[in-house]
Amino acid sequence: MSIFMWWFLISGLLFFFGAAVGSFLNVLIERSIEERNWIRGRSACDFCGHKLAWYDNIPLLSFVFLKGRCRYCRKKIHPSHILMEVLTGVLFVWWFWGGFIILNIFRLVHQPFRFVQPLFWLLVAVLLLVIVVYDLRYLLIPDWTLWLLLSLTLFYRVMLVLGGVMQVEDLVKSLVAAALAAGFLSFLWLITLGKGMGLGDVKLIIPLSLLVSWRLVLLALVGAFIVGAVSSLALLFFGRLKWQKPVPFGPYLVVGFLTVLFFGDQILNWYLSWFML
Protein backbone atom coordinates (compact mmCIF):
# COMPACT_ATOMS: atom_id res chain seq x y z
CA MET A 1 0.00 0.00 0.00
CA SER A 2 1.30 3.46 -0.82
CA ILE A 3 1.95 5.99 1.93
CA PHE A 4 -1.10 8.02 0.84
CA MET A 5 -3.37 5.01 1.25
CA TRP A 6 -2.03 4.59 4.76
CA TRP A 7 -2.63 8.24 5.52
CA PHE A 8 -6.24 7.97 4.35
CA LEU A 9 -6.80 4.76 6.28
CA ILE A 10 -5.41 6.33 9.45
CA SER A 11 -7.58 9.44 8.82
CA GLY A 12 -10.70 7.25 8.66
CA LEU A 13 -9.82 5.45 11.88
CA LEU A 14 -9.01 8.74 13.61
CA PHE A 15 -12.35 10.18 12.48
CA PHE A 16 -14.22 7.35 14.22
CA PHE A 17 -11.99 7.55 17.27
CA GLY A 18 -12.65 11.32 17.44
CA ALA A 19 -16.39 10.70 17.07
CA ALA A 20 -16.22 8.30 20.03
CA VAL A 21 -14.41 10.96 22.08
CA GLY A 22 -17.10 13.49 21.07
CA SER A 23 -19.81 11.04 22.16
CA PHE A 24 -18.08 10.58 25.53
CA LEU A 25 -17.81 14.38 25.96
CA ASN A 26 -21.57 14.67 25.30
CA VAL A 27 -22.22 12.35 28.22
CA LEU A 28 -19.77 14.20 30.50
CA ILE A 29 -21.32 17.59 29.72
CA GLU A 30 -24.92 16.47 30.12
CA ARG A 31 -24.12 14.79 33.42
CA SER A 32 -22.14 17.76 34.73
CA ILE A 33 -24.99 20.14 33.80
CA GLU A 34 -27.61 17.89 35.40
CA GLU A 35 -25.19 17.40 38.33
CA ARG A 36 -25.39 13.64 38.11
CA ASN A 37 -22.59 11.21 38.83
CA TRP A 38 -19.99 11.43 36.04
CA ILE A 39 -18.95 7.83 35.96
CA ARG A 40 -21.72 5.65 37.29
CA GLY A 41 -25.07 4.93 35.73
CA ARG A 42 -25.88 4.16 32.10
CA SER A 43 -27.03 6.82 29.66
CA ALA A 44 -30.77 7.32 29.30
CA CYS A 45 -33.04 9.09 26.83
CA ASP A 46 -33.62 12.77 27.70
CA PHE A 47 -37.36 12.39 27.12
CA CYS A 48 -38.62 8.95 28.15
CA GLY A 49 -35.76 8.10 30.52
CA HIS A 50 -35.36 4.66 28.95
CA LYS A 51 -31.87 3.26 29.60
CA LEU A 52 -29.84 3.09 26.40
CA ALA A 53 -28.25 -0.17 25.31
CA TRP A 54 -24.68 -0.20 23.95
CA TYR A 55 -26.03 -0.45 20.38
CA ASP A 56 -28.04 2.76 20.90
CA ASN A 57 -24.82 4.56 21.76
CA ILE A 58 -22.43 3.77 18.89
CA PRO A 59 -20.98 7.09 17.70
CA LEU A 60 -22.38 8.28 14.33
CA LEU A 61 -23.88 4.88 13.37
CA SER A 62 -26.65 4.78 15.99
CA PHE A 63 -27.71 8.29 15.01
CA VAL A 64 -27.85 7.33 11.31
CA PHE A 65 -29.67 4.01 11.82
CA LEU A 66 -32.20 5.45 14.28
CA LYS A 67 -32.63 8.51 11.98
CA GLY A 68 -31.79 10.86 14.86
CA ARG A 69 -34.61 9.59 17.10
CA CYS A 70 -34.87 7.65 20.35
CA ARG A 71 -35.49 3.93 19.69
CA TYR A 72 -38.08 3.76 22.47
CA CYS A 73 -40.14 6.97 22.34
CA ARG A 74 -39.20 8.14 18.81
CA LYS A 75 -38.53 11.72 20.02
CA LYS A 76 -35.82 13.64 18.19
CA ILE A 77 -32.36 13.46 19.77
CA HIS A 78 -30.81 16.94 20.25
CA PRO A 79 -28.59 17.84 17.24
CA SER A 80 -25.72 18.73 19.61
CA HIS A 81 -25.05 14.97 19.95
CA ILE A 82 -24.33 14.34 16.28
CA LEU A 83 -22.68 17.77 15.90
CA MET A 84 -20.17 16.99 18.66
CA GLU A 85 -19.42 13.55 17.24
CA VAL A 86 -18.86 14.71 13.65
CA LEU A 87 -16.88 17.83 14.55
CA THR A 88 -14.65 16.07 17.10
CA GLY A 89 -13.94 13.47 14.40
CA VAL A 90 -13.08 16.28 11.97
CA LEU A 91 -10.74 17.85 14.55
CA PHE A 92 -8.83 14.58 14.96
CA VAL A 93 -8.38 14.33 11.19
CA TRP A 94 -7.30 18.01 11.09
CA TRP A 95 -4.79 17.26 13.85
CA PHE A 96 -3.36 14.37 11.85
CA TRP A 97 -3.00 16.30 8.58
CA GLY A 98 -2.19 19.75 9.92
CA GLY A 99 -0.25 18.87 13.02
CA PHE A 100 1.25 15.50 12.43
CA ILE A 101 1.93 15.30 8.69
CA ILE A 102 2.62 18.93 7.82
CA LEU A 103 4.47 19.92 10.99
CA ASN A 104 6.31 16.70 11.69
CA ILE A 105 7.06 15.22 8.32
CA PHE A 106 7.95 18.56 6.77
CA ARG A 107 9.61 19.64 10.02
CA LEU A 108 8.16 23.09 10.46
CA VAL A 109 8.45 23.10 14.25
CA HIS A 110 11.56 22.75 16.38
CA GLN A 111 12.09 20.19 19.11
CA PRO A 112 10.77 19.65 21.76
CA PHE A 113 7.53 21.11 20.41
CA ARG A 114 7.10 18.87 17.41
CA PHE A 115 4.84 16.49 19.31
CA VAL A 116 3.66 18.71 22.14
CA GLN A 117 2.41 21.54 19.95
CA PRO A 118 -0.03 19.64 17.67
CA LEU A 119 -1.38 17.72 20.66
CA PHE A 120 -1.89 20.96 22.58
CA TRP A 121 -3.88 22.52 19.73
CA LEU A 122 -6.02 19.40 19.35
CA LEU A 123 -6.94 19.48 23.05
CA VAL A 124 -7.64 23.22 22.90
CA ALA A 125 -9.77 22.82 19.76
CA VAL A 126 -11.85 20.00 21.29
CA LEU A 127 -12.40 22.00 24.49
CA LEU A 128 -13.44 25.11 22.52
CA LEU A 129 -15.88 22.97 20.52
CA VAL A 130 -17.44 21.64 23.72
CA ILE A 131 -17.74 25.18 25.10
CA VAL A 132 -19.35 26.58 21.92
CA VAL A 133 -21.84 23.73 21.44
CA TYR A 134 -22.98 23.71 25.07
CA ASP A 135 -23.10 27.47 25.49
CA LEU A 136 -25.40 27.53 22.45
CA ARG A 137 -27.56 24.77 23.92
CA TYR A 138 -27.68 25.55 27.65
CA LEU A 139 -26.45 29.19 27.82
CA LEU A 140 -23.77 28.18 30.28
CA ILE A 141 -20.17 27.06 30.26
CA PRO A 142 -19.27 24.26 32.72
CA ASP A 143 -16.48 25.30 35.09
CA TRP A 144 -14.44 22.16 34.55
CA THR A 145 -14.02 22.94 30.81
CA LEU A 146 -12.76 26.43 31.74
CA TRP A 147 -10.31 25.11 34.36
CA LEU A 148 -8.99 22.54 31.92
CA LEU A 149 -8.53 25.16 29.20
CA LEU A 150 -6.82 27.58 31.60
CA SER A 151 -4.42 24.93 32.96
CA LEU A 152 -3.55 23.81 29.43
CA THR A 153 -2.85 27.32 28.10
CA LEU A 154 -0.81 28.32 31.18
CA PHE A 155 1.20 25.11 31.00
CA TYR A 156 1.86 25.65 27.28
CA ARG A 157 2.91 29.28 27.67
CA VAL A 158 5.29 28.40 30.51
CA MET A 159 6.73 25.57 28.37
CA LEU A 160 7.34 28.07 25.55
CA VAL A 161 9.20 30.37 27.94
CA LEU A 162 11.26 27.51 29.41
CA GLY A 163 12.01 26.23 25.90
CA GLY A 164 13.38 29.65 24.95
CA VAL A 165 10.78 30.15 22.19
CA MET A 166 9.17 33.04 24.04
CA GLN A 167 10.40 35.70 26.48
CA VAL A 168 9.18 35.97 30.09
CA GLU A 169 8.25 39.55 29.22
CA ASP A 170 5.72 38.33 26.61
CA LEU A 171 4.10 36.01 29.14
CA VAL A 172 3.76 38.85 31.66
CA LYS A 173 2.24 41.13 28.99
CA SER A 174 -0.20 38.36 28.04
CA LEU A 175 -1.26 37.89 31.66
CA VAL A 176 -1.84 41.65 32.00
CA ALA A 177 -3.86 41.70 28.74
CA ALA A 178 -5.93 38.72 29.97
CA ALA A 179 -6.60 40.44 33.31
CA LEU A 180 -7.62 43.70 31.57
CA ALA A 181 -9.97 41.85 29.19
CA ALA A 182 -11.52 39.93 32.10
CA GLY A 183 -11.84 43.20 34.04
CA PHE A 184 -13.65 44.84 31.13
CA LEU A 185 -16.08 41.92 30.74
CA SER A 186 -16.78 41.79 34.50
CA PHE A 187 -17.56 45.52 34.32
CA LEU A 188 -20.10 44.79 31.54
CA TRP A 189 -21.42 41.86 33.57
CA LEU A 190 -21.96 44.17 36.57
CA ILE A 191 -23.66 47.04 34.73
CA THR A 192 -25.97 44.71 32.76
CA LEU A 193 -26.74 42.81 36.01
CA GLY A 194 -25.64 39.56 34.41
CA LYS A 195 -28.18 39.87 31.58
CA GLY A 196 -25.73 40.91 28.88
CA MET A 197 -23.32 38.08 29.46
CA GLY A 198 -22.64 35.32 31.94
CA LEU A 199 -19.84 34.94 34.43
CA GLY A 200 -18.68 32.00 32.27
CA ASP A 201 -17.80 34.49 29.50
CA VAL A 202 -15.71 36.53 31.95
CA LYS A 203 -13.79 33.38 32.91
CA LEU A 204 -13.50 32.19 29.30
CA ILE A 205 -11.70 35.32 28.14
CA ILE A 206 -8.66 34.61 30.36
CA PRO A 207 -7.48 31.39 28.64
CA LEU A 208 -8.53 32.80 25.24
CA SER A 209 -6.34 35.88 25.79
CA LEU A 210 -3.40 33.62 26.66
CA LEU A 211 -3.75 31.77 23.35
CA VAL A 212 -2.98 34.82 21.21
CA SER A 213 -0.31 37.52 21.29
CA TRP A 214 -1.10 40.26 23.83
CA ARG A 215 -1.21 42.76 20.95
CA LEU A 216 -4.25 40.99 19.50
CA VAL A 217 -6.47 40.71 22.59
CA LEU A 218 -8.25 44.02 22.04
CA LEU A 219 -8.77 43.25 18.34
CA ALA A 220 -10.27 39.85 19.24
CA LEU A 221 -12.65 41.48 21.72
CA VAL A 222 -13.78 44.06 19.15
CA GLY A 223 -14.24 41.22 16.63
CA ALA A 224 -16.37 39.24 19.11
CA PHE A 225 -18.66 42.24 19.66
CA ILE A 226 -19.00 42.90 15.92
CA VAL A 227 -19.79 39.25 15.12
CA GLY A 228 -22.19 39.15 18.08
CA ALA A 229 -24.01 42.33 17.00
CA VAL A 230 -24.25 41.35 13.33
CA SER A 231 -25.49 37.82 13.99
CA SER A 232 -27.97 38.97 16.67
CA LEU A 233 -29.41 41.51 14.22
CA ALA A 234 -29.61 38.85 11.51
CA LEU A 235 -31.36 36.42 13.89
CA LEU A 236 -33.78 39.16 14.99
CA PHE A 237 -34.48 40.02 11.36
CA PHE A 238 -35.28 36.40 10.52
CA GLY A 239 -37.41 36.12 13.65
CA ARG A 240 -35.26 33.43 15.26
CA LEU A 241 -34.54 35.56 18.30
CA LYS A 242 -36.66 37.69 20.61
CA TRP A 243 -35.58 40.90 22.29
CA GLN A 244 -34.82 40.32 25.96
CA LYS A 245 -33.91 36.70 25.37
CA PRO A 246 -30.37 35.97 26.61
CA VAL A 247 -27.77 35.38 23.92
CA PRO A 248 -24.79 33.05 24.42
CA PHE A 249 -21.68 35.25 24.16
CA GLY A 250 -19.09 32.45 24.52
CA PRO A 251 -19.30 31.37 20.83
CA TYR A 252 -18.67 34.97 19.67
CA LEU A 253 -15.64 35.23 21.93
CA VAL A 254 -14.28 31.98 20.51
CA VAL A 255 -14.91 33.17 16.91
CA GLY A 256 -13.23 36.54 17.66
CA PHE A 257 -10.14 34.93 19.17
CA LEU A 258 -9.81 32.24 16.49
CA THR A 259 -10.03 34.92 13.80
CA VAL A 260 -7.15 36.92 15.29
CA LEU A 261 -5.20 33.72 15.95
CA PHE A 262 -5.18 32.98 12.23
CA PHE A 263 -5.45 36.45 10.65
CA GLY A 264 -4.61 38.89 13.48
CA ASP A 265 -1.34 40.17 12.09
CA GLN A 266 -2.79 40.72 8.60
CA ILE A 267 -5.80 42.57 10.03
CA LEU A 268 -3.55 44.73 12.23
CA ASN A 269 -1.20 45.56 9.32
CA TRP A 270 -4.13 46.39 7.06
CA TYR A 271 -5.61 48.64 9.74
CA LEU A 272 -2.28 50.40 10.42
CA SER A 273 -1.65 50.90 6.71
CA TRP A 274 -4.55 53.40 6.66
CA PHE A 275 -2.52 55.68 8.89
CA MET A 276 0.61 55.51 6.77
CA LEU A 277 -0.80 56.69 3.47
Distances (CA, A) of 182 to 59, 86, 186, 201, 221: 37, 32, 6, 9, 11
Interface residue with Zn ion among 25, 29, 70, 127 (CB under 5 A) is 70
CA proximity to 42, closest of 55, 60, 134: 55
As measured in angstroms, the least distance from the Cβ of 30 to Zn ion is: 14
User: Is residue 72 close enough to count as binding Zn ion by CB under 5 A?
Assistant: yes
Contacts with 190 (C-beta within 8 Å, 6 or more apart), sequence order: none
178 in Cβ contact with 172 (< 8 Å): no
232 in Cβ contact with 241 (< 8 Å): yes
User: Is residue 69 close enough to count as binding Zn ion by CB under 5 A?
Assistant: no
| Site stretch for Zn ion (CB under 5 A), options 41-49, 108-116, 184-192, 255-263 | 41-49
3-state secondary structure of 76: strand
| Site stretch for Zn ion (CB under 5 A), options 43-51, 59-67, 138-146, 257-265 | 43-51
| Site stretch for Zn ion (CB under 5 A), options 48-56, 153-161, 203-211, 232-240 | 48-56
Residues binding Zn ion: number (CB under 5 A): 6
Interface residue with Zn ion among 9, 13, 33, 48 (CB under 5 A) is 48
- CB of 56 or CB of 135, closer to Zn ion: 56
16 in Cβ contact with 89 (< 8 Å): yes
125 in Cβ contact with 145 (< 8 Å): no
- CB of 70 or CB of 182, closer to Zn ion: 70
CA–CA distance, 87 with 122 (Å, rounded to integer): 12
| Site stretch for Zn ion (CB under 5 A), options 27-35, 38-46, 80-88, 254-262 | 38-46
Interface residue with Zn ion among 8, 38, 47, 55 (CB under 5 A) is 47
User: Where do contacts with Zn ion occur on this chain (CB under 5 A)?
Assistant: 45, 47-48, 70, 72-73
